[in-house]
Structure 1
Amino acid sequence: MSESSYSLLGLWPIINRWKKLVGSALILALVVSIIVALSLPNIYKSTAVFFPTNPQTTDPDRIATEGSKLELGGRTEDLDRIITIGESQPVAELLIRRFRLHAHYGTGQPGTDLADDAALREFSSNLGIVHNERDAIELTFQDRDKQLAARIANTLVQVIDSINQQLTLENRRNVLGLYQQRYQFLSSEFERSRQQLLRARRRYGIYGLEQQSRYLAREIIKVETELRTAEGSGADARTVAGLRRALRGLTEAEQGNVINLEDYTRGVDSLNLFTSRMTNLQERLVRARGDYETADIALKGKLSSLYLVQKAYPATKKSKPVRWLIVAGSVFLTLALSVVVITLLELWRRTRRPQAPAGL
């Protein structure tokens, strides 16, 4: 025996025989779906778009030492970090408490496990954070109240920004402390070097290098010339001895002269060393002071870690439900189920129908 073949056209006689039942089911589905679609509340969606910035560009060490500027961070780790913060449970609980969403969602009094879990699930289902094809982050929140949806979306962006800053805040404070320690160290070293320079001036009697060098050279030449003249002219021994003592006083430190060539030479070497040291410390001190002030301003300024492209605004039209789609889908699904049911009934009737005796 050949197997029976089935086609969509072959279903028409079956549908025609059950047209009243199918029609009643379609009318019922149409009425129920219209009632359900009209009873569903309008849901509004608000979207904020922003770029994460590279957190290294907001660190005071790079701002101070490299003069870096704010850079948009399209790196995978920056995007993943922002999305992870936005979808975290502490952030959700913070927003739920701030906007009293337990009462708004009708989940019950806050503080109970059932109410908190229901509010958290409802909040999470209304929140969407995605990384779009332009390396930006789209944060979307939907709610029956379009004003509330926009406020929650904008607040959530601020909370993400704050938490993202906190991740590097402790490190930035440590960096600021290092700048302060470096400035204090250089300041104390500068003061110590200045005191050493003053002591060297008092010890060697050097207060003006150029004037004293001219004076010392002039006096040495003058005394030496007088000594040679006295020796050549046959002056008395006491005069010659006095000129020799005067010359030794100008050239030897042991003679006790405040200004003498030996101390002056050693003093010049020491003063040059201390002066170079002080000049270097002064330059480093000025630079360290500027770095510290820049880092302090950067830390107190709380630079945003997000570059907001578009803030969330209240929606001008609903995003769902699509009522005509609900009605059309319900009617089509009812028709499909009705066809399946009546087809199965027809097959069941055929199998139950008694076979005619052979030869009749």
Structure 2
Amino acid sequence: MSEPSYSLLGLWPIINRWKKLVGTALVLALVLSVAVALLMPNVYKSTAVFFPTNPQTTDPDRIATEGSKLELGGRTEDLDRIITIGESQPIAELMIKRFGLHEHYETGAAGDDAADDAALRKFSSNLDIVHNERDAIELTFFDEDKQLAARIANTLVQVIDSVNQQLTLENRRNVLGLYQQRFQFLNKEFETSRQKLIQARRRYGIYGLEQQSRYLAREIIEVETDLRKAEGEGDDSRKIAGLRRALRGLTRSEQGNVLNLEDYTRGVDSLNLFTARMTDLQGRLVKARGDYETADVALKGKLSSLYLVQKAYPATKKSKPIRWLIVAGSVFLTLALSIVVITLLELWRRTTRRPTSRPAL
């Protein structure tokens, strides 16, 4: 005997026979779903939108040496880092403690493991951080209190920014320390070179290169001219000897003259060396001081690592629940389950009532 076939058109007679039961189920589902939907509190959401910046552009070494500008960092690693920070447990625990969410969520007293775990799960379920199609980050927080939702969202952005800065803060302090050490070293070397230059001037008696060189050359020429005239005219030998001693005093250092050609030449060479050294150190010292001051300002300025596009504002309308959808979904689901149940009951009845066929004798 062939098995009976069933179609969707055959459901109507079945539903018609069980219409009281189906109707009762639908009415109950409607009433219960309406009651549940009305009892559910309104939930509001607040969303903040921001871009992460490239942390390298806020480092004092790059600012001081390269003059880098603050750049938006749409890189994957920047986005992943921000999302990871925002979803981390320490951040959640900080926010729960700061806003007293144990009491707000009615999970119990803080410090109890079960209460802490319940508050943490509730907070995590209300937080949503996503990377949108424009390479920005949308941070959304849901809560029954729309003012609290906005405050938590904005505070979360600030905390994420602070933690993100801390990741490079130690390295930036080390860089600032290197700038300070370089400035102090150059300042010490500049002072040492300056003292050596002063000592050289005292030793060789050179204080004005141009004036002293003119004076020394003029004196040497005049004395030598007088000596040649005296020798040519046959003057007194004592006068000639005096002129010779005067000429040796002007040209040789062992004669004891403060200003003489031999010491002056050595002194000029030393002074030129120290002057060149001081000029080089002075330029490097000025640059090192400028770099240090720029890096110090950059570090103390606490440049934000996030570019905030939109603050989180209190919502003007609820986000959920969608009450009509809850009611419609409950009624539809009840209808579908009712059809399945009554269909199975009909199949069971037909199976049990089917006559058993016996072979003819």
Indicate the TM-score class for this superposition, using the shorter chain for normalisation.
Answer: over 0.9
CA–CA distance in 2 between the matches of 1:228 and 1:2? 153
Identify which range, 195-204 or 233-242, moves more after superposition.
Answer: 233-242
The alpha carbon displacement at 1:231 in A equals 1.0
Counterpart residue identity of residue 297, structure 1:
V
Cα displacement (A) at 1:324: 0.6
C-alpha separation between the residues in 1 aligned to 2:300 and 2:232? 81
How far apart, CA to CA, are the structure 2 residues paired with 1:278 and 1:87? 56
Once the two structures are superposed, the pairs formed by residues 153-164 of structure 1 within 5 Å of their partners are: 153-164=153-164
Alignment of 1:1-360 (within 5 A): 1-355=1-355
Runs (4+) of structure 1 exceeding 3 A deviation are 356-359
Question: What TM-score, normalized to structure 2?
Answer: 0.97
1:45 is paired with a residue whose SS is strand
Distance 1:356 1:191, change over 3 A: closer
CA–CA separation in structure 2 for the residues paired with 1:85 and 1:231: 98
Matched residue pairs, number? 359
In structure 2, the gaps of 5 or more residues are: none
How far apart in 2 are the matches of 1:325 and 1:269?
Answer: 95
Report deviation, 1:356: 6.0
Distance in 2, matches of 1:100 and 1:357, equals 76
Q: Structure 1 residues 356 and 80 mapped into 2: Cα distance closer, same or farther (>3 Å)?
A: closer
Tell me which amino acid in the other structure corresponds to 2:355.
Q
Structure 1 position 240, deviation (Å): 1.4
Residue 238 of structure 1, CA deviation: 1.6
Whole-angstrom CA distance in 2 between matches of 1:91 and 1:179: 34
Residues in 2 aligned to 1:222 and 1:4: alpha-carbon distance in whole angstroms: 144
Distance 2:225 2:260 in 1: 17
Which amino acid in the other structure matches residue 251 of structure 2?
Answer: T
Please give the per-residue CA displacement for 1:213-271, whole angstroms capped at 9, x wherever unaligned: 10011011101111111111111222111111111111111111111111111111110
- Deviation, structure 1 residue 349: 0.4
Aligned identity (percent) is 84
CA distance in 1, matches of 2:142, 2:262: 89
SS at match of 2:45: strand
Deviations 1:256-312 (A, max 9, x none): 111111111111111011001111111111111111111111111111111100000
Distance 1:311 1:191 in 2: 53
Query: 1:91 Cα deviation (Å)?
Result: 0.3
